[in-house]
Amino acid sequence: MKNKYTIKDVKEILIENNIDADLLAELSEDSRTGIKKLLEQYYKRQTKQQELIDRFHHKEFLEKPYWDRQQIVAGVDEVGRGPLAGPVVTAAVILPANNTLYEVDDSKKLSASKRAELYKQICAQAIDISVAVGSPQLIDTENIYHATELTMRDSINRLYLKPDHILVDAMTIPVDIAQTKLIKGDSKSLSIGAASIVAKVARDRLMTMYSHKYPEFGFEQNDGYGTKQHLEALSQVGRTKIHRLSFSPVKKINKLY
C-alpha cells in the first residue's frame, strides 16, 4: 500500500497547495527517502505561504476599516527624491477589499523581476491607478519636498474615483481629502506598498528611455543617482535637460550636453 504512488506521482500531487489530510497521512508513512524529501519541501512551502498570508492580512489593517464601510481608500507613494537627474514619480493606487496581492511590499525590498511581476498583478487587480511625473524643472523651482507633494496631488487628482481617505508615505498631500501620514508606510500599508511598486516600475522605465538619449550616464542602471559613471559623465560631457540644477554637484557644472 505504501508504494501505491511513484515518486513522480507524489511530486505532481504535492504541487497543489491544499492536499487532503488523509493522503498526507498516508504519504507520511512511506519510508522512501525521496517521498520524505518531497513532503519536507511541501511543508516548508506551506509554512512560507502561510507566513506570507499572515503578513498580508497584517498589512491591510489600515485599509480594512474603510473597506468595511464600503469607502474608497487610496495609497500614495513616490520614487526619485534623491537622484541628480530625472523626475520624481508618484503613484496613487486604490485596491479592492478582495485583492490577493500577498507579496506586495516596499519596492526597495524587491528585486526588479519581482517588482515587474507584482506590477502586473497590481494593474490586474486594482480598482484605479494613477501615475504623475514631477519634472526636474518643477523640482528646481519648488524644491524637491514641495515638488513631491504637488506631484502626489496630481496623482490623486488624476484618479477616476475620488478617495474617501488617503494613506501616504511620510508626506502631506495638498488636497481636501482626509489622509493618514505614515513613516515607512510602504512597509506598513498594502495600498502604499502597491503605489511604491507602480511608481518605481514607471520611473525605472522612464530612466531606461532616457538612457538611450544620454548613453554616457548609465541611467538604465543608476536611475539618475550619483554613481561613479554618472559623475564622470557629468564632468566630461556636461549636464542634460533632465538634470536637477539645484542639486549638488550638478549646480557646479556649466557645460551643457
What is the domain count for the chain?
Answer: 2
Same domain for 179 and 80: yes
> What's the pLDDT at 3?
66
The reply to whether 173 and 136 lie within a common domain is yes
- Asked if residue 250 belongs to a domain, the reply is no
* In a domain? residue 222: no
Q: Among all chains, which residue has been given the C-alpha cell 559623465?
A: 233
The length of the chain is 257
Do 200 and 79 share a domain, yes or no?
yes
What is the full per-residue pLDDT of the chain (257 aa) written as tens digits? 446 788 888 888 888 767 888 888 888 888 888 888 888 888 787 777 777 787 777 788 999 999 999 999 999 999 999 999 999 999 999 999 999 999 999 899 999 999 999 999 999 999 999 999 999 999 999 999 999 999 999 999 999 999 999 999 889 999 999 999 999 888 899 999 999 999 999 999 999 999 999 999 999 999 999 999 999 999 999 999 999 999 999 999 999 99
Does some domain include residue 191?
A: yes
115 and 198 co-located in one domain: yes
Rounded-to-integer distance, Cα 83 and Cα 224, Å = 5
User: What Å distances lie between residue 10 and 1, 40, 43, 47, 131, CA to CA?
Assistant: 14, 12, 14, 19, 46
SS3 readout for the chain: CCCCCCHHHHHHHCCCCCCCHHHHHHHHCCCCHHHHHHHHHHHHHHHHHHHHHHHHHHHCCCCHHHHHCCCCEEEEEEECCCCCECCEEEEEEECCCCCCCCCCCCHHHCCHHHHHHHHHHHHHHCCEEEEEEECHHHHHHHCHHHHHHHHHHHHHHCCCCCCCEEEEECCCCCCCCCEEEECCHHHHCHHHHHHHHHHHHHHHHHHHHHHHHCHHHCHHHHCCCCCHHHHHHHHHHCECCCECCCCCCHHHCCCEC
Q: Are residues 36 and 90 in the same domain?
A: no
Q: What is the CATH number of the domain that holds 190?
A: 3.30.420.10
Within a domain: 35? yes
Do residues 40 and 132 share a domain? no
Residue 168, pLDDT score = 96
pTM of the model: 0.83
Spatial neighbors of 82 by CB under 8 A, at least 6 apart, are 225
Q: Say yes or no: 98 and 190 in one domain.
A: yes
Claim to verify: residue 184 and residue 74 sit in the same structural domain = yes
| 178: phi then psi, degrees, rounded to nearest 5 | -60, 140
User: 150 lies in a domain?
Assistant: yes
Shared-domain flag, residues 12 and 55: yes
One domain, residues 120 and 16: no
- Claim to verify: residue 46 and residue 172 sit in the same structural domain: no
Asked if residue 145 is part of any domain, the answer here is yes
Residue 229, in any domain of the structure: no
Q: Are residues 76 and 181 in the same domain?
A: yes
Q: Is 217 domain-assigned?
A: no
Look at residues 106, 110, 116 and name the one whose alpha carbon lies nearest to residue 194: 106
Domain boundary residue among 209, 228, 252?
209
Residue 1 has a pLDDT of: 46
Domain holding 81, by residue range, is: 69-209
